[in-house]
Amino acid sequence: MPHISIGSIIVFIIAFAVSSICIPLVIKLAIKKRLLGEYGEGRHVHKGYVPRLGGVAIYIGFLFSQLYFFISDFSSLDHPKNYFLLLFGVLLLFVLGILDDLVDLKAHLKFYVQLLVAVILVWNADIRVESFHGVLGLNTLPIWFSYLFSILIITFFINAYNLIDGIDTLSSSIGMFVLGCFGMVFLYNGAYLETVLAFSVFGALLGFWFYNKPPAKIFMGDSGTLSMGLLMAYFAIRVTDLPLDAEGTISPVFAFVVLSYPAIDTLRVFTVRILNGRSPFSPDRNHIHHLLLDMGYSHGKATRIIILITLLLSVSAYLLRTMPTTSFCVMIVSTFVLANVPFLILKHRNK
């Protein structure tokens, strides 16, 4: 455990330092070269132009911390092939994100690449959900369902995290909350690689967060949300098979409740868009965070409300960890109700 803690602290410091140094440089470069994203239409709420290449600095911070880990602790890896395939997937989505930030790729093209990455990781790196551990009475999953479900989960969470990069500090705050929760589970279980990865991403996001606070000087952009979203999907899958307490209790529900905000928000907006005859990937201002802004909350307050609710749901899921089906049902109802409260309040006000 001391070795794990020290290694995690070092990669955190490297990722944070490099990300913090690179963010101002990325902002200056983006302004100088006019590599700016227009905000004020669709799902973004800023007027004018704000750089959206924060993911470049985040990825560079993550990359340098992983180079240190590779040089110092490569021998500690049990499955180096899986580690490299994960890094390959992150790199591929990072490049895809940069291209989209600069030239606006078609939504279906991005989806196909995300799906390809998910297939590679599930099929070749065996990164998948193997059991529901009693949720709805299900345990070990049939192999075909495990592959299919895991591919869908990875693709879905990549998209879900990508879609919450709409207001100041939200994507980075949600990301750090998720990484904090999962990092503690990894540290508790002595999962060295996952602990190092989680602390590394946390450090890179923290360096970015200081420049993403209201009023945001830079947004994460697709280069950050796609690549970091993949890592968070990977962490969620790994947590589904790890004990949460000394009794060895495993709770897949807890793992996915920690990521509940991007998940429920994405399901909600996709459903609304499809019912309105639009593409589920078309931008709009129907996200929960946009509704909170329409209720009069500032960017910072809206983010704090979302984090607080996610924290309460996560704590509830942890307390119900020994009752998998009950926990699943309670969390489904709770997230659905809470996700629709802002919409119902605004609808009542408009009447």
Determine the residue type at 107: A
Which of 54-58, 233-237, 266-270 has the weakest average pLDDT?
A: 266-270
Average pLDDT along the chain: 89
Residue 59 pLDDT level (bands cut at 50, 70, 90): very high
Least confident residue range of 44-48, 190-194, 328-332? 44-48
Tokens of 287: 């996200």
Residue with structure tokens 């959900």? Answer: 129
Of 143 and 346, more confident: 143
pLDDT at 254 over 80: yes
Q: Taking each helix axis from N to C terminus, what angle separates 221-239 and 170-189, rounded to the nearest 10 degrees? A: 30
Q: pTM of the entire structure?
A: 0.91
CA distance 331 to 261: 12
Domain ranges of the chain: 2-350
| Mean pLDDT in residue range 311-322 | 95
Strands of 84-219, DSSP E: none
C-alpha 128/C-alpha 131 separation (Å) is 9
Q: Which of 46-55, 251-260, 267-276 has the lowest mean pLDDT?
A: 46-55
Q: Does residue 42 carry a pLDDT above 50?
A: no
Q: How far apart are CA 105 and CA 89, in angstroms?
A: 18
Residue 37: pLDDT band (50, 70, 90) is low
* Percent of the chain's residues with pLDDT above 70: 93
How far, CA to CA in Å, does 209 sit from each of 41, 114, 154, 192? Answer: 23, 25, 24, 25
Chain centroid offset of residue 86 CA:
15
